[in-house]
Amino acid sequence: MTGTFTSLGLCNTDNIRKIEANVPAKVKHLGLSGNPFFCTCDLVWFRAWIQLNSMKIIGWPSNYTCSLPKEWVHKSLADFDLDYSACHPLSPYVIFAICISSVSFLFLIMSFITYKKRWQIKYQLYRLSARRRGYQVLGDHEFEYDVFVSYNSSDSVWVISEMIPRLEKKEKMKLCLHERDFEVGKHIVDNIVDAIQNSRKVLIILSNRFAQSQWCQFESTMAQLRSIKSGEGAVIVIILENIHMQNMSKSLHILMKTTTLIEWTKDKRAKEMLWNNVVSTIKS
């Protein structure tokens, strides 16, 4: 009697080897009805052989039932089907390797996100710390400085020779400069945030060196947040030179699109108009 079966996926290399080792190739008929079959992984090879040679099995499939294990008792051997994964569980080493790979992948993703959002994270941590200390934002009439000037140290000569004479000496504005006014011994993040919060306006002196500096990027990010809170005109950008595309970060691009931009020029007449524009924006 020939049974009709669906593919069980049992004829892998291990099963074929067991068939060749245990069942002679010239067997014409085999009668095993009434035997107690242990329907476990050890019998998978024989079930695979039956699948290929059911016409040789006498009394198949009616007289072939499972005796063990408990979940297969009295069930037909023809229905016995264990997939590959049930008989070949992953080794502890493979499971360990998968876990390590998954954790490493998640770590890389979190590291990437943390790096991209590092300045926002630092700012939020600062705000939490400030709240514990009872920090309060100063009102408009209590600002310590008229302008916080954010610039790279490589542009100090320009700040000293061009900006200070016009804004501080001529216009009598009180400027906050990191090289001069930051509190010694105070954490740089606290100095930056306090300076921005204590100034009516933020003036960014944009150059390629500025765009390449991480601390300058942090200052520009803080300035953006200040602009969002205080509204248009809180941040002014003076562009000293053409910014190379490789230095143009996404946050810097957004800053340039959402703030007042003034391009520096060496032309005397245009320079006077530039400073007048800066002064009027600061005083507005």
pLDDT on residue 272: 86
pLDDT on residue 99: 87
Domain residue spans in the chain?
A: 13-87, 92-132, 140-283
> Which residues does residue 184 pair with via DSSP β-bridges, in sequence order?
none
Query: Which residue is associated with the tokens 């100095």?
Result: 191
At 121-152, the pLDDT tens digits run 665 665 565 555 444 444 444 788 999 999 99
CATH of 140-283, one of 3.40.50.300, 2.60.40.10, 3.40.50.10140, 2.60.34.10: 3.40.50.10140
At 76-122, the pLDDT tens digits run 877 777 766 667 666 777 778 888 888 999 999 888 887 766 656 66
Q: How far apart are CA 154 and CA 156, in angstroms?
A: 6
Give the pLDDT band (50/70/90) at residue 267: confident
At 225-264, the pLDDT tens digits run 877 777 667 888 999 988 888 888 877 887 777 777 888 8
For 277, residues 6+ apart whose C-beta sits below 8 A from its C-beta are 262
For 112, residues 6+ apart whose C-beta sits below 8 A from its C-beta are none
pLDDT exceeds cutoff 90 at 71: no
